Chains A and B, each alone.
Chain A
C-alpha cells in the first residue's frame, strides 16, 4: 500500500464506519467529528448473513449501510454496492472503515501436557485466550489412565482420529525437565497424523521443554505441520502462555476468520485488517487499566461466545473466551454446564424447569430470536448469569492476587472498573437488570464502577487502537460508555440481619442520611449519572470492602443509571438448593432494588 494514500496518515479523520460482525448480529455504527469531538450518529443492528440464503456477511453490511443512509441522510455505499471511502466533498462516504468479527467457527484444539494441574491447565488457558473449542485433553497424570485414556498413548491416536482438531497444543516439561513422555507423545501425534487425510491433519504447537524440541521436530517432520514456541511453563511456578496463544490465534485467523463467507469482500472495503472482536476488547480494557492505573474487567456476553478480559497495571492482560457459552447459539453449552436449579432458580414464577429447558433449547435452534415476554427475557438473563459464573471460574486462576478478594478460603473478583457488553447486558431494558446480571454472575467483591457498552462501540475503539489511537482515546473520553453506577460489595462472615456496613449518603443540597447495611440484602441508593459523592465506608469487624477486614475506607463513588448498589448478600451468594425457595429469595432481592 502506498503510504501517501493511507487515509489516516497525518490526516484528520472526519468520519468512521465501524462494523462488528457477530455470529448472530451485525452491528454497524457511524461516527462523525463534530466540533472536534467524535459523536455517535447512527447505528444499524441486523442479523448476520453468514448462512444461506445470503451466505455472505457483506450482505447484512450493505443492508445496514442502507439503513444508516436513510436515518443519517448520507450516502455510504455506491451504485455497485461498494463502500465509498474516503469521505467525498459532498459528505458521502467515510474516511475510515474498521471491522471486528466473531462470526467464525472456533478453532478446534486438543491440549496435551504432563501434569493436569500445571502444564495442562496452562495449555487450556492458552487455548482459551482465543476463539477455540477444546476437543480433547491428554494429561500424562490423568486419573482416567495415562494420557487420559485407559488405552494409554494409543488412546491419544484414537481420540485425535475421531475428533480431528485443527491444532494440538503440547505443553509440559519445565526447562531442563521431563523429556521421554514428550517424545512418546510426539510419536503418537505423528501416528495420528498419518491415519488422517492430509488436509485434516492437525498442526502441532509445541510449547514444552525446549531441550527436547529438536527431537520432537525430527519425529513430526514430514508427517504433520508443526510450530515450536517458548516453553509455556518454564518453571513450576511460572506460566507464560502468550506465545502459544499467539500461534493459536494466527491459526484461528488463517483457518477460520478468513473463511467466513463474504469476509474477503468486507476486507476489501477496509484498509485495516479485520480484527477478532475479543482482540479489540482486550486493547480497550488494557488501555483503560494503564490510563487510570486501575484493575479493569471487560465482559463480552455474546450470542455464541462469551469472554472476560482482565487487565491490571503492570501485569498485562488476561483473556478467557468460551465458545460454548452464550445467550443464543451458546445456550446449549449453558444447558450442558449449568445445573437446572442454578439456571432456572434465577427465573421468577412457577414455570417447571423442564418447560424452561425446552424453551431455551428451542431458542438455540433459531439464532437471532428476541425475547417478547418477561419470562423469556428473565430466562435469557439467567443464561447470561450462568455463562458469567462459568467464565469467571475459568478466568480466576489466571488473575494475579491483586484482583482477588479472599474470604473463607475462596476468592472473588476485585476490580475497580467493570465494563459490560454483549446483547443481554446491553439490551437489559432496566439498567438495574444489567447490574444484577453482573453481580449475580461475576460475584465481585469490594467497590467497582460499572459501565455498559450500550451502543456496542468497544470493538470499534479497539480496532482503531493501532491506526488511529487518538480517535479511540477521544471516544473513550466522551459519554460513549453508559455509567450504570457503583457497586459496593462487603465480604466477610456475618449472619442474616447483622449490620455489616455503615455509611452516610449526601444529597446534592448538602443534606444526607445514614445507611446501615444488613447482611443478606441488596440496597439501591439514588445517585444519577454525572454525579458523584464522597463516602466513608465503615465496615463491621471482619467485614472487608477493599481496604482489609474491618478497615474503613474513604472514596468518591460515581453515579449512574442504576445508582449506587450495595450488595450485602454475602459471597458466595446464599442460593437455596430447593428451587422454590431459591426463586422466592431471588424475587426478594429483585424487590430490594426495584428491578
Chain B
C-alpha cells in the first residue's frame, strides 16, 4: 500500500561522520572572497559585508535639564554631521561645572528633536564570515556566501536560543537522562560547549553563565525557562523539546564520541517560513562518505516518536504503510509500525515521528 505521507518525512540530521555540505551566508549582501573548488580552512574569510550601522539616541536636553532654548545653544553638531566616537555633541554649564555630552558611536547625526534628543546612525562595521570548517567550496552564492563541503559530524536539535559559538565539547552528565544541575559547573568548564542531560533549572543556567561556558546542549528545558535562555550570550540547543526528556540515544552517543573536540554550536532556528534547525557541527580531517540524501521514509530507518504517550522514544520502522488506525484521542491517522528500543512494536502516525539520520 502506498502512503503519500512517507514521501517528505519530517527529518533531523544525525550524522556521526559524513562528507557534509554547509551553507555559510551573510545576512546582509556583500562581497564573496572564495572561488568554486577553492580549499578552505576554518579561518578562511568566505565573505564580507558592511551592513548599515544601528541607531543610537542621546538625550542632551534631559542630561543638562535644559529647556529647548538652552539646548539649542548647547548643541555642537547639526543633522548630517559626521561624528567620531567620544566627539563632544553638546556642551554647557549645569551649575558651576561645565559638562559635555560625547558621542557613544562614530557615525552620522540623523536628527535632533526640539527636546535635544540626538539620533545617530553608527558607521557601518565590516562583518567577516569565516568558513568555520576545513573543506572545499562547492557552490558560490554571489553577494551572500558559499557552500562548503567537508568531513565532520552533524547533529541537529529542535530549539535554540538564537546564538552561535565555537568551543570544545565536554560531557557533563554521565547519561542522557541525568538532569544538569548548578553544582556540576566549575571553572574548568569555561570556554566549553557542555553536553548535559534530560533537563535543567534556573540556577544551572545561571551557573553556566557565571563560569562562561561557550554553549549548552540538553534534551529539554522547562518552557518557563525559555525567556531566561534567550538572554544568555552563549548558544543553548535542545534536541527534544520542552519539559524533561533525555537527549535521544543516537544523538547523545554520537556527540559523546567527540568529547574534547572543537565544535560549532549554532542555536539559530526558525519553525516556519524557511524552517531551520539548530545544529552542532564537529569538523574532522579524515575523509568520509557523502551524507545520504534524505529521500522518502523507508523500513529499517531510525525514527524518534514525538507525541505523548511515547514522546522522545526511539525505534526503527518495521512496517511502513500500516494503514489508518484509531488512537486514544478518538482520531484515526495513517501511520507505520515502529520497533522501539525495548522490543515493543507500536503504531505511530506519520505526523508524529521524525527520522533520525
| A49 interfacial contact with B, CB 8 Å | yes
Asked if A195 and B57 sit within 8 Å, CB to CB, the answer is no
Asked if B110 and A157 sit within 8 Å, CB to CB, the answer is yes
A130 to chain B, nearest CB (A): 17
Contact flags A371-394 to B (C-beta < 8 A → 1, else 0):
111111100000000000000000
| B5 interfacial contact with A, CB 8 Å | yes
Of residues 95 through 111 on chain B, the ones whose CB sits less than 8 Å from some CB of chain A are 110-111
* Chain B residues, Cβ within 8 Å of A354: 222-224
User: When A372-B329, A377-B331 are in contact, do A367 and B272 touch as well, CB less than 8 Å?
Assistant: yes
* Chain A residues, Cβ within 8 Å of B287: none
- Contact among A153, A161, A363, A372 for B328, CB-based, below 8 A: A372
Asked if B223 and A358 sit within 8 Å, CB to CB, the answer is yes
With both beta carbons as reference points, the residue of chain A lying nearest to B272 in the complex is identified as A329
Asked if B113 and A51 sit within 8 Å, CB to CB, the answer is no
**Complex alpha-carbon distance, A335 and B220, angstroms:** 18
- Contact among B8, B223, B309, B354 for A361, CB-based, below 8 A: B223
**Complex alpha-carbon distance, A155 and B115, angstroms:** 13
**Complex alpha-carbon distance, A50 and B271, angstroms:** 12
| B54 interfacial contact with A, CB 8 Å | yes
B10 to chain A, nearest CB (A): 7
* Chain A residues, Cβ within 8 Å of B222: 354, 358
With both beta carbons as reference points, the residue of chain A lying nearest to B244 in the complex is identified as A358
**Complex alpha-carbon distance, A325 and B59, angstroms:** 38
With both beta carbons as reference points, the residue of chain A lying nearest to B223 in the complex is identified as A361
B182 to chain A, nearest CB (A): 20
**Complex alpha-carbon distance, A369 and B310, angstroms:** 13
Asked if B8 and A372 sit within 8 Å, CB to CB, the answer is no
| A11 interfacial contact with B, CB 8 Å | no
Asked if A370 and B307 sit within 8 Å, CB to CB, the answer is yes
B94 to chain A, nearest CB (A): 21
Asked if B308 and A46 sit within 8 Å, CB to CB, the answer is no
| A364 interfacial contact with B, CB 8 Å | yes
- Contact among B121, B220, B354 for A366, CB-based, below 8 A: B354
- Contact among B220, B226, B272, B351 for A47, CB-based, below 8 A: B351
| B260 interfacial contact with A, CB 8 Å | no
**Complex alpha-carbon distance, A359 and B307, angstroms:** 9
Asked if B5 and A70 sit within 8 Å, CB to CB, the answer is no
Asked if A329 and B271 sit within 8 Å, CB to CB, the answer is yes
**Complex alpha-carbon distance, A454 and B11, angstroms:** 31
Asked if A369 and B351 sit within 8 Å, CB to CB, the answer is yes
Asked if B110 and A195 sit within 8 Å, CB to CB, the answer is yes
- Contact among A155, A196, A360, A377 for B329, CB-based, below 8 A: A377
Asked if A427 and B55 sit within 8 Å, CB to CB, the answer is no
| A288 interfacial contact with B, CB 8 Å | no
With both beta carbons as reference points, the residue of chain A lying nearest to B10 in the complex is identified as A366
Asked if B55 and A161 sit within 8 Å, CB to CB, the answer is yes
A187 to chain B, nearest CB (A): 8
* Chain B residues, Cβ within 8 Å of A197: 28, 52
Contact flags B1-17 to A (C-beta < 8 A → 1, else 0):
01011011011000000
Asked if A365 and B294 sit within 8 Å, CB to CB, the answer is no
| B318 interfacial contact with A, CB 8 Å | no
Asked if B5 and A47 sit within 8 Å, CB to CB, the answer is yes
Of residues 298 through 357 on chain B, the ones whose CB sits less than 8 Å from some CB of chain A are 306-309, 311, 327-331, 333, 349, 351-352, 354
Of residues 10 through 28 on chain B, the ones whose CB sits less than 8 Å from some CB of chain A are 10-11, 28
Identify which of A59-67, A308-316, A547-555, A575-583 touches chain B.
A59-67
Of residues 74 through 120 on chain B, the ones whose CB sits less than 8 Å from some CB of chain A are 110-111, 113, 115, 117, 119
Interface size class of A (residues with CB under 8 A): 35 or more
Asked if A52 and B275 sit within 8 Å, CB to CB, the answer is yes
Asked if B271 and A47 sit within 8 Å, CB to CB, the answer is no
| B66 interfacial contact with A, CB 8 Å | no
**Complex alpha-carbon distance, A377 and B4, angstroms:** 24
| A541 interfacial contact with B, CB 8 Å | no
| A158 interfacial contact with B, CB 8 Å | yes
* Chain A residues, Cβ within 8 Å of B333: 370, 372
| B258 interfacial contact with A, CB 8 Å | no
**A23, A376, A377 — most chain B CB neighbours (10 Å):** A376
| A191 interfacial contact with B, CB 8 Å | yes
Asked if A370 and B352 sit within 8 Å, CB to CB, the answer is yes
- Contact among B2, B4, B242, B274 for A358, CB-based, below 8 A: B242
Asked if B272 and A373 sit within 8 Å, CB to CB, the answer is no
* Chain B residues, Cβ within 8 Å of A373: 307-309, 327-329
With both beta carbons as reference points, the residue of chain B lying nearest to A259 in the complex is identified as B273
Asked if B4 and A44 sit within 8 Å, CB to CB, the answer is yes
| B243 interfacial contact with A, CB 8 Å | yes
**Complex alpha-carbon distance, A390 and B115, angstroms:** 39
**A64, A358, A429 — most chain B CB neighbours (10 Å):** A358
Asked if A154 and B119 sit within 8 Å, CB to CB, the answer is yes
Contact flags A38-62 to B (C-beta < 8 A → 1, else 0):
0000001011011111100001100
* Chain A residues, Cβ within 8 Å of B224: 354, 357
| B241 interfacial contact with A, CB 8 Å | yes
| B158 interfacial contact with A, CB 8 Å | yes
Of residues 401 through 453 on chain A, the ones whose CB sits less than 8 Å from some CB of chain B are 427, 429-430
Asked if B158 and A157 sit within 8 Å, CB to CB, the answer is no
| A528 interfacial contact with B, CB 8 Å | no
Asked if B329 and A371 sit within 8 Å, CB to CB, the answer is yes
| A585 interfacial contact with B, CB 8 Å | no
| B159 interfacial contact with A, CB 8 Å | yes
- Contact among B5, B159, B271, B327 for A367, CB-based, below 8 A: B271
B267 to chain A, nearest CB (A): 14
User: When A63-B4, A373-B328, A429-B331 are in contact, do A196 and B52 touch as well, CB less than 8 Å?
Assistant: yes
**Complex alpha-carbon distance, A531 and B5, angstroms:** 39
| A105 interfacial contact with B, CB 8 Å | yes
With both beta carbons as reference points, the residue of chain B lying nearest to A194 in the complex is identified as B110
Of residues 193 through 209 on chain A, the ones whose CB sits less than 8 Å from some CB of chain B are 194-197
**Complex alpha-carbon distance, A66 and B4, angstroms:** 8
B236 to chain A, nearest CB (A): 14
* Chain A residues, Cβ within 8 Å of B57: 151, 154-155, 158
B354 to chain A, nearest CB (A): 7
Asked if B272 and A59 sit within 8 Å, CB to CB, the answer is no
A541 to chain B, nearest CB (A): 42
* Chain A residues, Cβ within 8 Å of B274: 51
User: When A153-B113, A157-B111, A427-B331 are in contact, do A362 and B241 touch as well, CB less than 8 Å?
Assistant: yes
- Contact among B7, B121, B272, B309 for A372, CB-based, below 8 A: B309
- Contact among A53, A161, A358, A360 for B294, CB-based, below 8 A: A53
Contact flags A129-152 to B (C-beta < 8 A → 1, else 0):
000000000000000000000011
User: When A63-B7, A157-B111, A429-B331 are in contact, do A358 and B243 touch as well, CB less than 8 Å?
Assistant: yes
| A368 interfacial contact with B, CB 8 Å | yes
With both beta carbons as reference points, the residue of chain B lying nearest to A377 in the complex is identified as B329
| A3 interfacial contact with B, CB 8 Å | no
B163 to chain A, nearest CB (A): 18
Asked if B331 and A376 sit within 8 Å, CB to CB, the answer is no
Asked if A161 and B272 sit within 8 Å, CB to CB, the answer is no
- Contact among B10, B55, B349, B351 for A157, CB-based, below 8 A: B55
Of residues 209 through 231 on chain B, the ones whose CB sits less than 8 Å from some CB of chain A are 220, 222-224, 226
| A355 interfacial contact with B, CB 8 Å | yes
**Complex alpha-carbon distance, A106 and B223, angstroms:** 25
With both beta carbons as reference points, the residue of chain B lying nearest to A65 in the complex is identified as B4
Of residues 151 through 191 on chain A, the ones whose CB sits less than 8 Å from some CB of chain B are 151-155, 157-158, 161-162, 191
Contact flags A306-337 to B (C-beta < 8 A → 1, else 0):
00000000000000000000000100000100
With both beta carbons as reference points, the residue of chain B lying nearest to A60 in the complex is identified as B8
Q: What 9 A-B pairs are tightest by C-beta distance, nearest first?
A: A362-B241, A358-B243, A429-B330, A63-B4, A51-B275, A377-B329, A358-B242, A372-B327, A105-B273
Pairs A–B under 8 Å by Cβ, sample size 16: A51-B272, A54-B8, A59-B7, A66-B4, A105-B273, A161-B54, A161-B55, A195-B110, A197-B28, A335-B223, A358-B242, A366-B158, A366-B306, A373-B308, A377-B329, A429-B330
Given A161-B54, A195-B121, A372-B308, 10 new contacts (CB under 8 A): A46-B5, A152-B113, A191-B111, A194-B110, A361-B242, A362-B241, A364-B271, A368-B10, A371-B307, A372-B307
